[in-house]
Amino acid sequence: MKRLAAAMFVATFGAAAPAGAQEPLGRLFFTPEQRQALDARRKARLPDKPSGPAAATPHVRLDGYVKRSDGRSTVWVNGESVPETVQADSPRIGAAGRDSRVSVNAGDGGGRVELKPGEVLDRGSGEVRDVLGDGEIRVRRNRAP
């Protein structure tokens, strides 16, 4: 009985192994050349796409941020990635212990406002609101007839 089970196992999986081995897996990660190009671009602080002149928008939405282990940071504001710099009008990431907030330019007055990811700043009024509005999500389901 054990021999029959072993023979069935070999017949089933032994025939499937060569067929699977013939298919190339493809590349899951970057080639070494692509990785070097990405690392060089990151070290040179070149953006993936050329950025146009920064236009002052009436609303600033903080979409998120990444703070890397090497200390460099990228902030996403209004759907665009903005590398953290030392310029006065650039976003600044605060310490992680401070509720993970990012300091952004509030407007012409030169003041700064701290936002958490998902918050929106109205530069005209200085009001900070959450994307969720009143802080809750309501799901309205249609009843079947």
Q: Profile the chain (145 residues) by mean pLDDT over runs of 10 residues.
A: 69 58 69 85 65 62 82 81 64 56 73 85 84 74 77
What's residue 86's pLDDT? 52
Count how many domains the chain has.
1
Structural domain that includes position 126: 59-130
Residue 140 lies in a domain: no
CA Rg value for the chain: 26
**3 assigned to some structural domain:** no
Whole-Å CA distances, 8 to 2, 3, 5, 127: 10, 9, 5, 71
Domain membership of residue 72 (yes or no) is yes
* Structural domain includes residue 4: no
* pLDDT attached to residue 53: 42
Q: So what's the pLDDT on residue 54? A: 47
